Amino acid sequence: MKKTIAALSVVMLAASLSVSAKEIRFGVDASYAPFESKATSGELVGFDIDLGNEICKRLHADCKWVENDFDGMIPALKAKKFDGILSSMSMTEQRMKEISFSSKLFNTPTRMVAKAHSGLLPTAASLKGKRVGVEQGTIQETYAKTYWAPKGVDIVPYKDQNQVQADLVAGRLDATLQDAVEASEGFLKKPEGKGFDFAGKNVVDKKTLGEGAGIGLRKEDVALKADIDKAIASIIKDGTYKKLEKKYFDFDVYGK
């Protein structure tokens, strides 16, 4: 009898181990189309979601999506509420102190938006004495505060991106600095974005703007990182990445 129980418990232990190995839980804040958002049916959709599901498929695992607010992602990852953050999280030095990242998923550029033909450029010299709006907690805020604020540019942080755009339209701001995809999808392509345009080229800075977005992982989960990196590499290699990209973007979102 004892033997049976022992044998049974070994089997169950093995079963539970294999179950946990076959499930990957991703944390996501579904408020950032076209990367992650909710369809009217309530289903999660977007480029990140497709990539995540493809990664799970290649690792023969079940994907479980856990919704979480963006600013609470890193504490929740550490508290093991999920195993990875797959929510357009830029890989910055500051975040790398807390967690590790998979290899790059995509790198959308940062660009400035201003009135069309304003002549403004995303440089401290051109913006001196002007008011530039940024969303609080974004890498763009860090960039503007690091490089522009000390040189006399008035940086105004806002609670969310919609407010930044509203004040640009209202005329309180001379320019805004944000993710280029967000600006074009969420503002410039909409009716209220009429009369506004990108000003200047992509803003590049490895230190504050990072090198693109990846999947945030706990530092100790080395094996999971190796598996996910392998899956990402194969997705890019066999052309699946390009196919998924075409669904959402008309430009190269992988970037440099």
Partner 1 sequence: MSDIIQQFWRAFLWSDGYHFSGVAITLWLLAISIAFGFVVSIPLSVARVSKNKLLAWPVWLYTYVFRGTPLYVQLLLFYTGMYSLDVVRNHEMLNVFFRDGMNCTLLSFGLNTCAYTTEIFAGAIKATPYGEIEAARAYGMSRFTLYRRVIIPSALRRALPAYSNEVILMLHATTVAFTATVPDILKVARDANSATYDSFDAFGLAALLYLCITFVLVALFRRAERKLLAHLRPMNG
Interface residue list for partner 1 (CB under 8 A): 71-72, 74-75, 94, 98, 136-137, 149, 154-159, 163, 166-167, 170-172
- Strand 84-90: give its sheet, edge to edge: 62-67, 23-28, 84-90, 213-217, 100-101
Q: How far apart are CB 153 and partner 1 at their closest, in Å?
A: 9
Distance CA 249, CA 111 (A): 17
Q: Which of 3, 2, 6, 46 is nearest to 26 (CA)?
A: 46
Q: How far apart are CB 249 and partner 1 at their closest, in Å?
A: 27
Q: How far apart are CB 130 and partner 1 at their closest, in Å?
A: 14
Q: How far apart are CB 247 and partner 1 at their closest, in Å?
A: 31
Query: In the complex with partner 1, which residue's Cβ is closer, 23 or 71?
Result: 71
Query: In the complex with partner 1, which residue's Cβ is closer, 187 or 241?
Result: 187
Query: In the complex with partner 1, which residue's Cβ is closer, 51 or 173?
Result: 173
Q: Is the peptide bond prior to 34 cis by the omega test (within 30 degrees of 0)? A: yes
| Helix, strand, coil percent content, the chain, rounded in steps of 5 | 45, 25, 30
89 with 137: CB under 8 angstroms? no
Query: In the complex with partner 1, which residue's Cβ is closer, 145 or 230?
Result: 145
